[in-house]
């Protein structure tokens, strides 16, 4: 068997480092979900605060 064939067979059976890669992928997915959640929550809170400030401003200007 050629050296290339041996290297390919050895590389296919080698699973060292796979767990670290899987954990890194999982951590990146969790981080993306957290960023999306915080972004959506921040926009929602910003909209509510804008509405509250507009109502307060309307009440104060009518007096």
> Does residue 6 or residue 41 have the better pLDDT?
41
Model confidence band, residue 17 (pLDDT cutoffs 50, 70, 90):
confident
- Token duo for residue 46: 């910003």
8 pLDDT higher than 70? yes
Residue at token pair 């957290």:
34
Is pTM beyond 0.85? Reply is no
Provide mean pLDDT across the span 11-20: 74
**pLDDT, tens only, 33-52:** 999 999 889 888 988 999 99
Query: What six digits make up the tokens of 7?
Result: 């290297």
Cα gap 31→27, rounded to integer Å = 6
């Amino acid at each position: 068997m050629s050296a290339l064939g041996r290297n390919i067979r050895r590389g296919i059976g080698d699973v060292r480092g796979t767990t670290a890669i899987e954990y890194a992928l999982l951590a990146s997915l969790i981080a993306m979900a957290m960023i999306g959640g915080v972004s959506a929550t921040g926009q929602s809170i910003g909209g509510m605060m804008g509405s509250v400030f507009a109502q307060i401003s309307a009440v104060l200007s009518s007096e």
